[in-house]
Amino acid sequence: MAVERYDIVIVGAGPVGLLLSTCLARWGYKIKHIDMRPQPTVTGRADGIQPRSLDLLRNMGLKRAIMANEPAKVYEVAFWDPQESAKGIHRTGTWASCPKFIDARYPFTTLLHQGLIERVFIDDLLKNGVKLQRSWRITGFSTDGVDKQYPVEVNMAHVDGVEQETVRAKYLFSGEGARSFVREQLGVGITHKDPIAHVWGVMDGVVRTDFPDIKMKCTIHSDAGSIMVIPREANMVRLYIQIASSTDVDWNPRKSATTEEVQEAAKKIMQPYWIEWDRIEWFSVYPIGQGIADRYTLDERVFMGGDCCHTHSPKAGQGMNTAFLDAQNLAWKIHHVESGFADRSILKSYESERKLIAENLLNFDSQYAKLFSQRLQPSAGEVGGDSTTNNRDVEKAAKGEAVASENEFIKMFKASCEFTSGYGVAYNPNIFNWSPSHPAQSPLFLSSAQGTTTQRTGRIMSPATVTRVADANVVHLEQEIPLNGSYRIYLFAGLPALTATAVADFAAHVMKKNSFYSSYIRPDAHSVNYHERHNPDSHFFTFATVLNAPRPAIDTKAMLPEVLVRYFDHVYADDVWDQRVPDAKAAAHAKMGLSEERGGVVVVRPDGYVGCVVQLVEGSGTVDALNGYFDSFCQKKVGGEGRALL
Amino acid sequence: MAVERYDIVIVGAGPVGLLLSTCLARWGYKIKHIDMRPQPTVTGRADGIQPRSLDLLRNMGLKRAIMANEPAKVYEVAFWDPQESAKGIHRTGTWASCPKFIDARYPFTTLLHQGLIERVFIDDLLKNGVKLQRSWRITGFSTDGVDKQYPVEVNMAHVDGVEQETVRAKYLFSGEGARSFVREQLGVGITHKDPIAHVWGVMDGVVRTDFPDIKMKCTIHSDAGSIMVIPREANMVRLYIQIASSTDVDWNPRKSATTEEVQEAAKKIMQPYWIEWDRIEWFSVYPIGQGIADRYTLDERVFMGGDCCHTHSPKAGQGMNTAFLDAQNLAWKIHHVESGFADRSILKSYESERKLIAENLLNFDSQYAKLFSQRLQPSAGEVGGDSTTNNRDVEKAAKGEAVASENEFIKMFKASCEFTSGYGVAYNPNIFNWSPSHPAQSPLFLSSAQGTTTQRTGRIMSPATVTRVADANVVHLEQEIPLNGSYRIYLFAGLPALTATAVADFAAHVMKKNSFYSSYIRPDAHSVNYHERHNPDSHFFTFATVLNAPRPAIDTKAMLPEVLVRYFDHVYADDVWDQRVPDAKAAAHAKMGLSEERGGVVVVRPDGYVGCVVQLVEGSGTVDALNGYFDSFCQKKVGGEGRALL
């Protein structure tokens, strides 16, 4: 009997496995997705969706289904500390969890039980024909190369041990979590950045209390210990409490605590306030140490992501969010290789990009966790009850101005806001993220370092509100192109009267033989559905044009060349006022740091991170630069010049 | 066998019947709901949800389910007219469908097939235990009074004529549509405001075209006739075309047209653009005359609403929206009578309030329809392609300033924006909508006529964005209290330092024996669920307190009296900047036209319309005024003074 063949076998149906599966299923890949558990997460585990992750979920069209569960939203974090008079805790300050200096559409953390989040992905997978194979586990695998197209053999078994199955796949992905069979088999070690381990207690429940900030995220330090409060959906509250630390004299990683012990501890810590439990939803005690996998892949066939690659304290709510971004990063790279667009070598960048982020996360986490477990003595009046002072201070700090002295914890917290919100993710320069050392060289590349654009390569594009010309809808530009696996080419076309020639030249060179674009025209481009919005010409590119003109003054068919008219629903008027650039006449141009008159081209990777920014000029220069950029990783030779080496 | 008894029998499961049913089911009433049709609307019919109706659906928690269907959104209307050179149509102007001078959260019309909207209600009904009895019709009824509690006998039969059923009910409601058995039986006549009748053709389909505004709402006049274009979900387009008019020489109300004839007409009208159909979803030709029922009820037991009471052209998309508001208006009034809160006589106000709105609708509709069917010759340059000119003009007009001359149609359209958006609904002064002639008299009542508040009684409260103190969420104040059947008492408390005594006095007098509030405390108030947000004390009131202070400076339990602390989740900081009142320090106070220092009380009816506005003062004055207001329609005698007569 022939062995069944799949594009990918995914092990584990937590956040990382599900997001990867969802992307690849939508893009048409054949997937086997197994999970040891008989059902989605029932209680507990991760529950914090950071602002950037909510953008991503929206970009996947899943945000509405998430929000239908009525999650809690955390806009502010409150700090509670002992009073000098020692009569219990008092609030020493509050801070926006995603302060105004971060340009976020959703400046809050969304708290929802992981199982409900998983279900949203599972429903979407079903729509795309992928059904999870539950109660199955991986028992072996090897990249034996027996079948060149499907080089990985994977063995699986039902958890009851009777049924067994062997399949072949192009890829194997482990989203198994911290205890990964795949990682163990590969012999990939874990490096512990911070040698200190902790035992945590976590308790979800419905409480009654007179503690006023019970619906806020709080860090509470007291003489009786420390606790973190996190609001949840359905009137629930999560409490995190540190039960033991490897720095304790009597350190025992197996130290535990009962529900009652944790409740008693919480009662003491929260004095002078009272707290009682109506119901306990979930309680768990677990030891956790910081760790990071030394490799994310050995052969670019067997990959790992999520908790399998990085473990850390649960406090900053980063686990699921980092997992989402691991999966998103890998998904489009596999897609670009398997669909014939990009060179196989781009798969190396999964590890280099994502491991850096995990390292940053662990650096952040160890400082954050250390500070959290310290008792802090706030100096009088340094924070007060007034968050506007804090806001002013951090805005100053963000601009590099001096601020009044603050305690270490708050300083750390503020500096970390960008990181915890998810907007701090910054990939280093590489083949995707242009820098002066990129193989593609042209004087037309703009760079944030030189101040010729505000858009930083390796970071997400700034959000901008514009008017869609086709239907006059006011829309969020950064959300207009869904996570469809395509590169996003934003043509900011400035003033139409000034750029008509440059735009026409851009289109003419884009359509020239061997251009990055014409090299990857869909074979069925002539018969694509009339209503196809995103990929009428190519599966690898979606174009969007933004004009500095009021919407009714834009006659798309008369003003734009044919290739841009094909993207009729992706033509926008930059005519919406923005509070962040109040004096701009074309706010989206201004936010991108581009000339409002002359425009520019912003190339965004399929995952929303900026690849490069190029000046818009008459002649072939703009497209030449883009050809150079894409030629550095495309399978086909693109543009007129010699192929850059990877 | 005992006859089954219901609180209400509802006939017809279109928008009016479903919204009524949904409200009453949530508030615990026993409902029999029948409909002749075997299933929800399959194709065609109404599909436009106006901005105000979207507010209402959100207030019912149904907006997300509506939007999950990915409806089309109309932000602008384009006007197309013949060119003087007679080479076909050209765009003479566009206009925001809900211009900026209207303070709307959702400044667009939502277009979605009626059947999908019905399903959202039907799902909600099922959650509350109401299952529609389909393929049943009403065959007779009488308010015979045999049973004083259930005075209405209703006879029903299955449409196949075999099964029959007789029940008794407190109320009977007809949402049967234009051909109403109930209305006929009651002998209620229809008055035709405009004697002119029309035959309309309406066609839903998927088209290909080079007409650039196919995704906009358009009114197109040409030498070959007139057409209205309305975008729909799923790439569909609706075309309305007038086939005959009673003013035609050869008028025949049975005149019809085939799909092909309408397509041919559309092709001619839209020249020089081409249009082709991929698919026709629905096509119908129907004669329609304007009509309004002379009465909405004869005995305040048998009521009618929706198309049963008012018919008009489909062009302004008002039918479903007016039906929603009919149902909402009746729902809370029945609830207040049946639950022992208000005097039975308030039911008379259903007809007086809603018939006025229908009359306004018909006046509007006849002008609008007349203009629509005229061919207009735009004078050169009067509108141009620049909507910003139009915007400026109408903003001027809204402020009473002079504007450049415009053609009649555009003038009419602009003046009608408030009406079509749903925000023009204005109920006349009556027992609910305070005016100087109201039985309740106090110098503390504020009025928009005198300029002491911006809030107009009988109109909806202005939207305002505030920060919820309990969890720091930034929220829409007007949406914070759901459609729960309760009066909404918004205490704008100004600067806490200045109003501490006034707020304490307010609370003390609210809790005094015989006050409007204490007279209607729930008998189970002491055992209400700890997490009850809206009705901890009373089923008839929800309190919300808005303080002019930054959120972290508000310590709810320390600063507010007990009765307001009971509404812990309804305490707000007025600390969010608003573009409409850029210089205000407390934007919500400013939008209500109240003193930012001294505040005031805004009493809002359960349907969101302002009842009265009262100054906040020290002593008993504020609560005395409210007692007077509520005493005018409550079943119990409220306050210290003599009962006002209705």
Same domain, A276 and A252: yes
Same domain, A172 and A207: no
Residue B426 gets which letter from DSSP? -
The answer as to whether B76 is a domain residue is no
Same domain, B271 and B307: no
Same domain, A269 and A305: no
Averaged pLDDT score across all residues of chain B: 90
- CA distance to A515, A542, A606, A630, A644, per residue, from A639 (Å): 5, 19, 21, 9, 11
A74 CA to chain B: closest CA distance, Å?
7
- From the list B386, B472, B557, the residue facing A75 with the nearest CB is B472
The residue among A75, A468, A471 with the most chain B CBs within 10 A of its CB, best to mutate, is A471
As a whole number, mean pLDDT of residues A4-22 equals 98
- Report how far residue A205's alpha carbon sits from residue A201's, in angstroms, rounded to the nearest whole number: 13
Per-residue model confidence as pLDDT tens digits over B531-590: 999 999 999 999 999 999 999 999 999 999 999 999 999 999 999 999 999 999 999 999
The β-bridge relationship of strands A571-573 and A465-468 is antiparallel
A373 CA to chain B: closest CA distance, Å?
24
Contact list, A75 vs chain B (CB under 8 Å): 467, 471-474
Reported pTM: 0.93
Q: What confidence score (pLDDT) does residue B391 get?
A: 44
The pLDDT confidence band at residue A373, using thresholds 50, 70 and 90, is low
Contact list, B569 vs chain A (CB under 8 Å): 215
The answer as to whether B95 is a domain residue is no
Per-residue model confidence as pLDDT tens digits over B223-236: 888 899 999 999 99
Residue B212 sits in a domain of what CATH number?
A: 3.30.9.10
H or E, element range at A450: none
Same domain, B34 and B180: yes
Q: Are A381 and A322 in contact (CB under 8 A)?
A: no
Asked if residue B49 has pLDDT above 70, the reply is yes
Q: Backbone phi, then psi, for A500, in 5-degree steps?
A: -50, -45
The answer as to whether B235 is a domain residue is yes
Q: For residues B303-318, b (16+ Cβ closer than 10 Å) or e, as one string?
A: bbbbbbbbbbbbbbbb
Q: What confidence score (pLDDT) does residue B564 get?
A: 98
Asked if residue A175 has pLDDT above 70, the reply is yes
The answer as to whether A559 is a domain residue is yes
Q: What is the dihedral of CA A576, A582, A585, A587, to 10 degrees?
A: -50
Q: Return the minimum-mean-pLDDT range out of A590-599, B111-120, B287-296.
A: B287-296
Q: What confidence score (pLDDT) does residue A248 get?
A: 85
The percent of residues above 70 in pLDDT, for chain B, comes to 91
Q: What confidence score (pLDDT) does residue B168 get?
A: 98
pLDDT top residue among A555 and A416: A555
Q: Backbone phi, then psi, for B543, in 5-degree steps?
A: -95, 145
Nearest-Cα residue of chain B relative to residue A218: B471
Q: What confidence score (pLDDT) does residue A414 get?
A: 65
Strand partners, B297: B303
Asked if residue A399 has pLDDT above 60, the reply is no
Chain A, 371 to 430: residues with Cβ < 8 Å from chain B are 385-388
The residue among B390, B471, B560, B566 with the most chain A CBs within 10 A of its CB, best to mutate, is B471
DSSP per position, A459-497: SBPPP-EEEETTT--EEEGGGSS-SSS-EEEEEE---HH
Q: Are B432 and B611 in contact (CB under 8 A)?
A: yes
Same domain, B315 and B349: yes
Same domain, A482 and A515: yes
Say whether residue B641 is in contact with chain A using an 8 A CB cutoff.
no
Q: Are A482 and A61 in contact (CB under 8 A)?
A: yes
Domain boundary among A256, A289, A322: A289
Q: Backbone phi, then psi, for A346, in 5-degree steps?
A: -65, -20
Cβ contact (<8 Å) for A210 and B385?
A: no
Domain boundary among A289, A307, A330: A289
pLDDT top residue among A373 and B524: B524
Q: Backbone phi, then psi, for B247, in 5-degree steps?
A: -85, -10
Strand partners, B634: B342
Both structure tokens of A420: 């915890």
Residue B545 sits in a domain of what CATH number?
A: 3.40.30.20
Same domain, A247 and A302: no
Nearest-Cα residue of chain A relative to residue B108: A473
Per-residue model confidence as pLDDT tens digits over B358-409: 998 888 877 776 666 554 443 333 333 444 444 445 444 444 444 555 666 6
Complex ipTM value: 0.92
Q: What is the dihedral of CA A173, A175, A177, A181, to 10 degrees?
A: -30
Say whether residue B279 is in contact with chain A using an 8 A CB cutoff.
no
Q: Are A137 and A159 in contact (CB under 8 A)?
A: yes
Per-residue model confidence as pLDDT tens digits over A263-273: 999 999 999 99
Cβ contact (<8 Å) for A108 and B473?
A: yes
Contact list, A235 vs chain B (CB under 8 Å): 531
Per-residue model confidence as pLDDT tens digits over B231-286: 999 999 999 988 888 888 888 888 888 999 999 999 999 999 999 999 999 999 98
As a whole number, mean pLDDT of residues A214-223 equals 91
Averaged pLDDT score across all residues of chain A: 90
Residue with tokens 């928690």: B61
Q: Are B220 and B286 in contact (CB under 8 A)?
A: no
Nearest-Cα residue of chain B relative to residue A211: B557
The answer as to whether B638 is a domain residue is no
Same domain, B49 and B161: yes
Per-residue model confidence as pLDDT tens digits over B456-509: 999 999 999 999 999 999 999 999 999 999 999 999 999 999 999 999 999 999
- Report how far residue B274's alpha carbon sits from residue B271's, in angstroms, rounded to the nearest whole number: 6
Say whether residue A513 is in contact with chain B using an 8 A CB cutoff.
no
Cβ contact (<8 Å) for A550 and B206?
A: no
Q: How far is CA B537 from the centre of its chain?
A: 28
- Report how far residue B537's alpha carbon sits from residue B526's, in angstroms, rounded to the nearest whole number: 8
Both structure tokens of B112: 């979605």
Same domain, A612 and A549: yes
Domain boundary among B307, B330, B361: B361
Counting the structural domains of chain A, the total is: 3
A560 CA to chain B: closest CA distance, Å?
13
Both structure tokens of A24: 């690849």
Cβ contact (<8 Å) for B386 and A68?
A: no
The answer as to whether B404 is a domain residue is no
Q: Which residues contact A70 (CB under 8 A, 6 or more apart)?
A: A233, A234
Both structure tokens of B577: 């900047």
3-class DSSP assignment, residue A200: strand
Q: What confidence score (pLDDT) does residue B399 get?
A: 40
The pLDDT confidence band at residue B417, using thresholds 50, 70 and 90, is confident
Asked if residue B218 has pLDDT above 70, the reply is yes
The pLDDT confidence band at residue B317, using thresholds 50, 70 and 90, is confident
As a whole number, mean pLDDT of residues A229-243 equals 92
Q: Are A577 and A468 in contact (CB under 8 A)?
A: no
Q: Which residues contact B147 (CB under 8 A, 6 or more apart)?
A: B5, B168
Nearest to A503 by CA among A408, A420, A427, A600: A600
Contact list, B74 vs chain A (CB under 8 Å): 471-472
The answer as to whether A85 is a domain residue is no
Strands (E), A246-290: 275-289
Q: What confidence score (pLDDT) does residue B127 get?
A: 97
φ/ψ region of B378 (left if φ > 0, alpha if ψ in -120 to 50, else beta) reads: beta
Q: Are A498 and A600 in contact (CB under 8 A)?
A: no
Taking the CA atoms of A547, A551, A556 and A559 in sequence, report the sign of the dihedral they define: negative
Residue with tokens 């049946």: B338
- Report how far residue B188's alpha carbon sits from residue B378's, in angstroms, rounded to the nearest whole number: 44
Same domain, A11 and A127: yes
Residue with tokens 């140490």: A289
Residue A15 sits in a domain of what CATH number?
A: 3.50.50.60
The pLDDT confidence band at residue B642, using thresholds 50, 70 and 90, is very low
- CA distance to A59, A183, A589, B206, B218, per residue, from A569 (Å): 17, 45, 19, 16, 18
- Report how far residue B294's alpha carbon sits from residue B188's, in angstroms, rounded to the nearest whole number: 6
- From the list B64, B94, B471, the residue facing A216 with the nearest CB is B471
Nearest to A96 by CA among B463, B467, B586: B467
Same domain, B138 and B269: no
SS (H, E, C) A536-603: CCCCCEEEEEEECCCHHHCCHHHHCCHHHHCCHHHEEECCCCCCCCCCCCCHHHHHCCCECCCEEEEE
Q: What confidence score (pLDDT) does residue A18 get?
A: 98
Q: What confidence score (pLDDT) does residue A397 get?
A: 47
Domain, as residue range, for B126: 5-67+112-192+292-361
Asked if residue A641 has pLDDT above 70, the reply is no
Per-residue model confidence as pLDDT tens digits over B105-152: 999 999 999 999 999 999 999 999 999 999 999 999 999 989 999 999
Q: Are A232 and A238 in contact (CB under 8 A)?
A: yes
As a whole number, mean pLDDT of residues B305-325 equals 87
H or E, element range at B542: strand B541-547
- Report how far residue A219's alpha carbon sits from residue A91's, in angstroms, rounded to the nearest whole number: 10
Per-residue model confidence as pLDDT tens digits over A429-476: 999 999 999 999 999 999 999 999 999 999 999 999 999 999 999 999
CB pairs under 8 A between A and B: 98
Q: What confidence score (pLDDT) does residue A375 get?
A: 47
The answer as to whether A456 is a domain residue is yes
Q: Are A588 and A571 in contact (CB under 8 A)?
A: no
